[in-house]
Amino acid sequence: MIGVQQTAPKKLLVVSGLAWLFDAMDVGLLAFVIAALKTEWQLTPGQMGWIGSVSSIGMAVGAIFFGILADRIGRKDVLIFTLLLFSVGAGLSAFATGYTIFLVIRFFVGAGLGGELPVASTLVSEQVAPEHRGRMVVLLESFWAGGWLLAAIIAYLVMPTWGWRVAVLGSALTALYALYLRYGLHEAPHASGQRQSVGQSLRQLWQPTYWRATLMLWIVWFMVVFSYYGMFLWLPSVMVLKGFTMINSFGYTLLMTIAQLPGYFVAAWLIEKWGRKSVLVWFLLGTAASAIAFGLANNTAMLLTAGSLLSFFNLGAWGALYAYSPEQYSAVIRASGSGIAAGVGRIGGILGPLLVGSLVAQGVSLPLIFGIFAGAIVIAVVAIITLGRETMGVPLE
């Protein structure tokens, strides 16, 4: 049920951010689990790619379904349910006895994760004053770096000794946090807006008022998610391909992950100064350049520098995108519009890991693979420049 009071912005940031952190921890652990499963289950590069892709299939379904549902029954209840779905599924994955059952479980984990992210950003954006809204949503997204950092620490300290099952089992404990959310989070009584059917929501996204924003978001989300999951889910495995041991790859990935935090904080500071479009464009261009440099890196220093810059720019861009997306729509279709755009993006998340697995199996060079992702990012930049409008300071309903 929707509460009659709102949560204070700082408390809302922390409460929603911790849910975001737990989700990121699961995604981050998956990157390390894939590398471990390659050895335990003798997986081919194509099978490794499918683990990341089936999670993205679930995220696509979850983002669209739960985004539309959040416009019908409210943000808070959907946020709690999606967190429960993801945490219970993550716990069950620890008991998977083989590749196929692991894929099935990861689909449901992905559905919970995909639904939670756009709903949480919509909830926060609706309860913060216009002059602070963008910064607050970027700071919400910064919890993602905390989750990846926690995942890297767990992978580095836990997995070599106790294995991947013990590492992922901890994700199930986040179900307890979902129960706290039920009583610790309040939602604005107007947030759920006027109830519409799925068909009405989809048609309205392409009305003259919104079609440019919808087209822009769908292109940007697709390209950003395609490149992110293609690069980051394969990051530990790519480092092994470059000749590092699995333990060293985990440690180096941990160092690169730390660079995500200043990326978020710089983006949060700039987003209310430069505006959404400028921050997105420059951080995405930085991502493209860093991706090329990472693919070309041939020694430890270059690898760590390029990887850290990739983390800095890419995750700062993610924060800006989550702030920008809900601002494109009115309240009645805000969660739907953001959720469906994220769902379209998850199609890119399906294709990215599969593409890397296929290209690696064919012996395609890493510079060319990362060059493909850099090109995708440039397409997103063109869409923002030509189709996007600046929403800094614009009040939301």
pLDDT at 124: 79
Q: Say if residue 197's pLDDT is above 70.
A: no
Q: Say if residue 275's pLDDT is above 50.
A: yes
Listed in sequence order, the residues at least 6 apart from 3 whose beta carbon sits closer than 8 Å to its beta carbon are 76, 185, 186, 187, 189
Q: For 118-134, write each residue's pLDDT tens digit.
A: 888 777 777 777 777 87
pLDDT tier, 6 (very low <50, low <70, confident <90, very high otherwise):
low
Q: Say if residue 80's pLDDT is above 70.
A: yes
Q: Say if residue 243's pLDDT is above 70.
A: no
**Mean pLDDT, the chain, whole residue set:** 82
pLDDT at 107: 94
Domains of the chain and CATH, by start: 9-187+200-387 (1.20.1250.20)
Listed in sequence order, the residues at least 6 apart from 281 whose beta carbon sits closer than 8 Å to its beta carbon are 381, 384, 385
pLDDT tier, 2 (very low <50, low <70, confident <90, very high otherwise):
very low
pLDDT at 34: 83
Q: Say if residue 278's pLDDT is above 90.
A: yes
User: Which has the higher per-residue pLDDT, 268 or 2?
Assistant: 268
Residue percentage of the chain with pLDDT more than 70: 86
pLDDT tier, 317 (very low <50, low <70, confident <90, very high otherwise):
very high
Q: Say if residue 387's pLDDT is above 80.
A: yes
Q: Say if residue 342's pLDDT is above 90.
A: no
What is the spatial distance between Cα 100 and Cα 48, in angstroms, rounded to a whole number? 12
pLDDT tier, 191 (very low <50, low <70, confident <90, very high otherwise):
very low
Per-residue exposure over 74-106, b if at least 16 CB sit within 10 Å of its own CB, e if not: bbbbbbbbbbbbbbbbbbbbbebeeeeebbebb
Q: Say if residue 208's pLDDT is above 70.
A: yes
What pTM did the predictor assign?
0.77
pLDDT tier, 282 (very low <50, low <70, confident <90, very high otherwise):
very high
What is the spatial distance between Cα 159 and Cα 153, in angstroms, rounded to a whole number? 10
pLDDT tier, 42 (very low <50, low <70, confident <90, very high otherwise):
confident
Q: Say if residue 163's pLDDT is above 90.
A: no
pLDDT at 190: 47
pLDDT tier, 268 (very low <50, low <70, confident <90, very high otherwise):
confident
Residue 18, token pair as written in the block? 């911790």
Helix, strand, coil percentages (3-state) for the chain, rounded to 5, are 80, 0, 20
Q: For 244-261, write each residue's pLDDT tens digit.
A: 665 566 667 677 778 888
User: Which has the higher per-residue pLDDT, 198 or 293?
Assistant: 293
User: Which has the higher per-residue pLDDT, 140 or 312?
Assistant: 312
- Give the chain's length: 397
Q: Say if residue 232's pLDDT is above 90.
A: no
Q: For 19-37, write each residue's pLDDT tens digit.
A: 778 878 887 788 788 878 8
Burial environment of residue 345 by CB neighbours within 10 A (0 to 12, 13 to 18, 19 or more): buried
pLDDT tier, 139 (very low <50, low <70, confident <90, very high otherwise):
confident
* Closest by Cα among 318, 337, 329 to 70: 337
pLDDT at 4: 38
pLDDT at 373: 94
Max mean pLDDT among 24-33, 87-96, 294-303 falls in: 87-96
